[in-house]
Amino acid sequence: MKDRIKFSDEMLSAVIDGRKTQTRRLIEPQPVLNGDFYEVFGAGWSKGIKRVTVAPGHSLERSFPYGLVDKKIPFADKDGNIKGQIEIVDVWLQQVQEMSQEDAIAEGVAPLRSGYWKHYQPDWTQHQLSARGAFVTLWNSINGVDAWYKNPWVWVIEFKQIQEG
């Protein structure tokens, strides 16, 4: 069980500013496709399922590396220095490409003027036309070139920041 959830500098700022209320983390190991069913952590689901709910007491919940829904957990910078607390509101599994425009906005990608979105690839000066497009560049900057196209399964963690004081 992990004792904190780490964010890059830019995403840490988005959490603190209240723009980031979701994060996606790679599932390790990745679910294995056996015929028409995916399997991981003693759980299985049909190949066509787009979102797998992590129900209380289920083997998926026991395998979730950040604790249970409604758990408060510290959030930290990339070096592990704790900056505050979040409360986990919901958790589900999905393939990363199943995210919506609204999910990308909840991921904290930065809006620019004139309705454009930030491009996160290093040394890239262009913008993105959608929040989802911006998230693709963010995902690839964190997980490697073309990581988006592998369409891995991820833990989707929805959270809210706990205001101290």
* Residues whose CB is less than 8 angstroms from the CB of residue 130 and which lie 6 or more positions away in sequence, other chains included: 101, 104, 117
The dihedral region occupied by 70, where left means phi > 0, alpha psi between -120 and 50, and beta the remainder, is left
On the question of pLDDT at 61 being above 90, the answer is: no
On the question of pLDDT at 51 being above 70, the answer is: yes
pLDDT in tens, 18-42: 999 999 999 999 999 999 999 999 8
On the question of pLDDT at 125 being above 80, the answer is: no
On the question of pLDDT at 115 being above 80, the answer is: yes
pLDDT in tens, 70-99: 889 999 999 999 999 999 999 999 999 999
Q: 């704790």: which residue's tokens?
A: 82
Residues 92, 99 contacting (CB under 8 angstroms): no
Average pLDDT over residues 112-133: 78
Domains detected in the chain: 5-162 (2.30.130.30)
Q: Read off the pLDDT band of 124 (50, 70, 90).
A: low
Average pLDDT over residues 128-148: 89
pTM: 0.91
| Phi and psi at residue 108, to the nearest 5° | 90, 15
Q: Which helix (H) or strand (E) holds 147?
A: none
What is the pLDDT, as a whole number, of residue 82?
A: 97
